[in-house]
Chain A
């Protein structure tokens, strides 16, 4: 109470001071030093007070201040200036662009932020600008190509698709290869970018090496993606309203199908018996004469499906509080029928500084997401997806001479036109997918919460004690209703008839992090920051699901309507794991010239065996700021020159829960309960450890060219593998920490400012990275480990993703027989799985690159972002189906017309149909180079100038129009749907999409 009284008194005192001081009115204009354009919404503050205003659309301001006050001019992207008033009534200011502003302070691990130029480890930040205005749900898609060493894949065109990310290669065979995601200091799930409103993101920092990640210990082996959300920065509340609308289509449609005439011709080539088959010839004649040529692509897939997004945000600050509030609504439909995703999200970020020694804040995001899935492409196992009912397959496979409509004929059997689309599709010999979609409904929805709370105390100067509590949670609900249809097709689909399945999952993670950081100087030149901290994390996931059959009517689609005589299922899941950690970091620099960083973390986790639950991780790094040396002080053309190196260890705990436990479960009933050992357990199960070495050179020359070149080597030890055991153990295999692998690579980023004047700005940024992954040892001294069921063969000295298939020796020109190489390299016409070899082609791309072009001319701005992945290989499993003459009845690519062997001596790509045997076509011929370059994003925008804004009445401080596109151009040799696949085999996937959108952003 005493304290409150004191604060109130203080407040009164302040008010009194303001009221009675001698004030004058100061006006002026704030302009950009380079362009002479007014700087809108720049903050003009009286130093040491909460008194401040913002500049208007003309860059002008008016403020009442004391004659001896000092004004602080600041704006995002500019260097802050302090100017004493000294009694003047007009103060015009030119702000200087700060090229490093947004990269200026980043959070590396725990503790307060630090200037990026003082970070010893490897970290790179992507600014908000690169992620906004994107016409997709998942903002991380736009990270592709932005950061050297970061590979991002959107493998599906489903509106709900998540991305997969890898930082610097692949570090594990069976544990996770996904980075750790941290949102405002709290670890979050990897699909955070699906949840998060992209406009809430202030920056995304990619932490790549041990020095920057060792403090995250056992979860950081695959790098860290640190997301920072926005804060209020200006005194005057800023209201932003933006909306965009666009359309979505297939990104590519590269597969050329035969038309009706070609289909019949090809069928006769494959099976000459058709030439004399009266029924066949009659059908051919009827269909061709009456021009049956259905465009199944158009029929089975949607075109120009809408995408929509709207955002509203309010932000601002006072001396005590800064705040940022946002709301968003997005809707995206998919090219596959039924598919759509809706997202509604809101966020509040608030920091409160009631006293100079106490501060607290909250960052709270809530969201609701709703997805609709296509019932035939919602199954993630490719085998189940690969059927006729999957819309993509239907579009590909259905012959154009088929029709979904009733064929009308006169009495003489002459074609008179098409009737209605019928529930049963006679040509297909099955029910029309359009009809079925009406009775199959697959939906899910998720309610999410990301909340962070912190309390921070600064008892003495330089010491910051911070307590942070994080909660991430979601409730996920999935429903499938396969309803009774009027034609009773449902009983063909499920023998037990209509079906309703529901599942429910609740997940939460509680994180408690407590740190104390002390920054101090010894003498004038020794700067020291010491941090100690402690963290505890609980992850919990529970769920249940149930299903039943026999709802009698399409209007009765709940579990209540079930038929009790039909099977009813119920199941439950439960998983909880925990981490306990202690960590510390010591950062030292001598006169901003020599930097040393040491970090240490001790992690314990319930994921691991009782005997190996705790592990230590550490790193040591050093940096030499060469530019600060006397001998470079006078070298004008060098603006920055830094050399750094670090070494350290991190762990990988991305494994299934409870693997270490030997447990007993109940089995199939035999008169009564039965028990069996369902998990052999391993009490010595422990973390994979990654040892990482990083060397970097960082420089900026002529104030135009900025570059960073890095080399690294990472060794994964104690790799977690499920290895075969002798069956004498009663098990076929078990988990152990066995095997090592290595990733080594170089990265370079070069940014160049081509033009920088008042009207025009052109900057390009190019990054290139190379990574080679290699297995260096396996278990029991083995040099290879074959997993035939997965088409995998891990071999020492080879990439973990190297494809393993029988090598084709082409087609024998004499006979049209497919030929292969056997193990010894001899040509054979007998196919055998035993002849599989590692092909030297990996699913993991060694090369990746990105090019960002940033161009502004007066009020126009153009941003283009290209990304490239090179040296990546993919099995085009779809091609197996559409070029396999065994499936001549219904699945054909026009390529077969010319590339199939028909005459002796022909150099053909596809064999004589006589010799097509299912399994035998699955060889290296299906391996394709899936390297690609993609125009990932391009945005052209126009902002209204001050005159135009004035004409609008001056209420608006900014109006921006933009058109944007995603995946508009793709260059690739890959012949299948899409090369952007983070998998070794493409089969019946939801093809990737491209978008055009237009939007407007209003700032008040």
Chain B
């Protein structure tokens, strides 16, 4: 009996059991992740990371290459080749925009919901104001990426496209494998109105955060700059005018006045002219992506230029007057270009992103990202006045204001009607080339892409195989490829969108 009691006692002592609630280390449980204002600001900071990621690098230059500025050198190795040839399909290259856009929007939705459900009773006025800004950033993110997605995946906003497919609208972050919970595409009208709703909420919240030159966080001016851009894209000329002129006329963001200031802006990221210039530094994870897909290709050790992308004759020879500061700052002339089959002297190259040495080696072509510049607002104002009708002279005034600063030998403009519009289109190229505007500009102007101008020197250009037809590629306004394909993965995973692929894919 003793033995049995002893055995039972030992048994009781040795019976073991673990607590099964294990938490991973180095991360925070999602539930209750946002508790303080500082937490919320950390989440807002992540939105800037999204913004910096998707306003730089390949997200900028792939559409520039699809446009009518560049031809590939014979050694370009088919990098961005499919964009150049317009032979994209539902597999690539536009999947990342779709994935990244919705990732950013979800992040914002989570942030908004968490802040709304936060116990704010202990916060003082200054803390509540900081929370307003976080929310402002979240709504801005939704609007910004909503518009980005619309630029790629939807037809432009106009009366005949209103009921066509826009984008999936997401307001709540509910990650799940439940396929019935996934949204389909809303109409173009609903989608643009969703962007408007979100940016208007942001505007309300951001009222107390005035703009400043080279702001690296959201300000009311950045919201207005976005509203101006959105209104222009939506054909709301008066709104576009009021938002853009408030920024231009306010005088807070003066244009560069001379070559030194221009160089300082583009080389050293002085931030002048920038309504927003995103933060970056030289540490490994804080570098921005380069907007230069090898436009220059310079190797200091042997002093050679081996660019992948060479500006065509139009950009190199006739776009700018030689006194234009932009030409002097961004365009390199008299360059000896080396390719595998030989060299060519006297070439012109494009170098708008010359590389800020504070961020990395010059050859890395890293510059701070400038998603909103005042020059764009001049052009928005001019285009809106021109489109509005009866205000061509005012449009010219805004173009003059920009032109005079850009080119000492500038002559005041007196164009009207189509000629004025043509001038605006070309001025947008002169000003915004390389910054990712061209492709969507061509799309929204609805005239297609005229035949790609001739290359500077045909012998340097890769015209073999399927690249041949791309040399002087023209894309009609009705071409289905102006609207990017919804990624196949989305179609496969989401039954609501399965039958909503864009036409032609």
Contact = CB atoms under 8 A, between A and B. Distances in A.
Contacts of B4: 459-460
Contacts of A411: none
A680 B26 CA distance: 16
B448 to A, nearest CB: 28
B193 interface: no
A274 B152 CA distance: 49
A613 interface: yes
A726 B29 contact: no
Contacts of A457: 3, 6-7, 10
B45 A671 contact: yes
A724 B494 CA distance: 9
Interface stretch (A326-334, A654-662, A848-856, A935-943): A654-662
Contacts of B27: 661, 663-665, 678-679
Contacts of B492: 724, 782
Interface in B307-348: none
A819 B24 CA distance: 52
Interface in A570-598: 572, 574-580
Interface string A448-492: 000000010101100001010000000000000000000000000
A534 B16 contact: yes
Given A536-B17, A577-B22, A670 B182 contact: no
A276 interface: no
Interface string A611-627: 00100000000000000
Nearest to A677: B30
Interface in A636-670: 657-658, 661-670
Given A671-B45, A671-B216, A725-B176, A730 B23 contact: no
A732 B18 contact: no
A670 B14 contact: no
Given A457-B10, A536-B18, A674 B182 contact: no
Contacts of A579: 18
B24 A580 contact: no
Interface string B233-264: 00000000000000000000000000000000
Interface residues of B, number: 68
Given A676-B46, A732-B489, A662 B24 contact: no
B103 interface: yes
Interface of B: 3-4, 6-7, 10-11, 14-31, 33, 39, 41-43, 45-46, 48-49, 52, 98-99, 102-103, 105-107, 109-110, 168, 170, 173-177, 179, 182-183, 216-217, 279, 283-286, 487, 489-490, 492-495, 497
B156 to A, nearest CB: 23
Q: Which of B33, B46, B105 has the most CB of A within 10 A?
A: B46
B30 A663 contact: yes
A538 B22 CA distance: 11
Contacts of B109: 730
Contact of B42 (A512, A580, A672): A672
B279 A671 contact: yes
A17 interface: no
B181 to A, nearest CB: 8
B489 A728 contact: no
Given A457-B7, A667-B49, A729 B29 contact: no
Contacts of A661: 23-24, 27, 29
Contacts of B106: 677, 728-731
Q: Which of B22, B42, B173 has the most CB of A within 10 A?
A: B22
Contacts of B43: 674-676
A723 interface: yes
Nearest to A513: B16
Contacts of B168: 726, 728
8 contacts: A536-B18, A538-B18, A580-B17, A675-B28, A726-B182, A726-B183, A730-B109, A782-B492
Contacts of A514: 11, 14-16
Contacts of A613: 20
B45 A726 contact: no
A187 interface: no
A665 B24 CA distance: 11
B216 to A, nearest CB: 7
Given A730-B105, A734-B177, 11 more contacts: A459-B4, A657-B24, A663-B28, A668-B286, A671-B216, A674-B43, A675-B28, A676-B107, A726-B493, A726-B494, A728-B106
Interface in A503-559: 512, 514, 516, 534, 536-538
Given A574-B25, A606-B21, A664 B49 contact: no
B286 A669 contact: yes
A816 interface: no
A567 interface: yes
Nearest to A668: B285
A673 B179 contact: no
B494 to A, nearest CB: 4
Interface in A738-755: 738
Nearest to B173: A730
Interface residues of A, number: 69
B45 A674 contact: yes
A465 B177 contact: no
Q: Which 4 A-B pairs give the minimum distances between C-beta atoms?
A: A730-B106, A662-B30, A726-B494, A726-B182
Contacts of B170: 728, 730
A558 B42 CA distance: 37
Interface string A274-309: 000000000000000000000000000000000000
A459 B6 CA distance: 9
Contact of B107 (A567, A668, A730): A730
Contacts of B16: 512, 514, 534, 536
Contact of B177 (A658, A666, A725, A730): A725
Given A580-B17, A725-B175, A730-B175, A662 B31 contact: yes
B42 A674 contact: yes
Nearest to B486: A727
A736 B177 contact: yes
A204 to B, nearest CB: 28
B358 to A, nearest CB: 16
A457 B13 CA distance: 14
A730 B100 CA distance: 8
A664 B42 CA distance: 11
A657 to B, nearest CB: 7
Contact of A730 (B45, B103, B217): B103
Nearest to A782: B492
A534 B175 contact: no
B369 to A, nearest CB: 12
A675 B11 CA distance: 48
Q: Which of A606, A669, A730, A779 has the most CB of B within 10 A?
A: A730
A179 to B, nearest CB: 24
A195 B283 CA distance: 43
A478 B104 CA distance: 38
A677 B384 CA distance: 41
A676 B102 CA distance: 14
A670 B46 contact: yes
A43 B60 CA distance: 85
Interface string A779-806: 1101000000000000000000000000
Contacts of B493: 723-726, 733
B101 to A, nearest CB: 8
Contact of A780 (B28, B39, B103, B495): B495
Q: Which of A457, A580, A610, A671 has the most CB of B within 10 A?
A: A671
A672 B41 contact: yes
A459 B7 contact: yes
Contact of A724 (B110, B285, B489): B489
Contacts of B175: 662, 677, 680-681, 725, 729-731, 734
A606 B490 contact: no
Contacts of B46: 667, 670, 674-676
A457 B27 CA distance: 46
Q: Which of B105, B106, B217 has the most CB of A within 10 A?
A: B106
Contacts of B487: 727
A577 B25 CA distance: 12
